[in-house]
Amino acid sequence: MAQGEFMDKSVSSLVSYCGLYCGDCVIRRGELGSRAGVLLKEMGTPEFERLAEGLPGIHPKTSSDLLEYKTCIKVLRAMCMLVCTAPCKNGGGGKDCNIRKCCIEKGLEGCWVCNDFEECKTLAILEPVNKRANIRNMIIIRNYGMETFLNYSKEW
C-alpha cells in the first residue's frame, strides 16, 4: 500500500478497543488453532502412542522427551480452543472483557480517546502477553490519527 493511501473502514475495525491490531494476531487469523489441530490429530493416534512410549527404550538420548507427549496433547487441546472469529468491535474476543465494557459504557471508539489510557489499570491485564504494544499503538493513533496508524507498522 502506498504511503498516504487509506485502508477501507473494515480494516479500522481490526483495531481493538485496547489498541491492539487484531489483523496481526495469530489467534485471530486462525493459524494457531488450526495448526495445533493438525498436530493433535496425528498425536492422538494409537500409532503415535506406541511410538512415543517405545522409542525411548530404543533411542534413550534422543527420544526420552517423547514420554511427555500426554502433556503436549493437553497443550495442543488448549491451543485448539484459542479461537477468535471476529475482532472485538464486531463481537469477537473475550465476552467478559473489561476493556471493551469500559469503552462501550463511556461511548468511546477506543481507549486512545480516554485521557487516562497510559496509566489505566484495566489495560494492565494485557502486559504479560503484549507488553505495552497497545499503549504504543494508541499513542500513534492519538497523535497522528487512525489513517496514519493503519498505513504504518502496528504492534500486537
pLDDT at res. 60: 80
Contact 103, 111 (CB under 8 A): yes
Q: How confident is the model at residue 10 (pLDDT cuts 50, 70, 90)?
A: low
Residue of 3 and 76 predicted with greater confidence: 76
- Enter the pTM of the model: 0.74
**Which grid cell sits at 65?**
522427551
Contact 24, 156 (CB under 8 A): yes
Could you tell me the residue ranges of all domains in the chain? 9-26+84-151, 31-80
Q: What is the DSSP annotation of 49-71?
A: HHHHHHHHHHSHHHHGGGGGHHH
User: What are the tens digits of pLDDT across the range 123-152?
Assistant: 999 999 889 999 999 999 999 999 999 988
Taking the C-alpha atoms of residue 37 and residue 79, their distance in angstroms, rounded to an integer, is 8
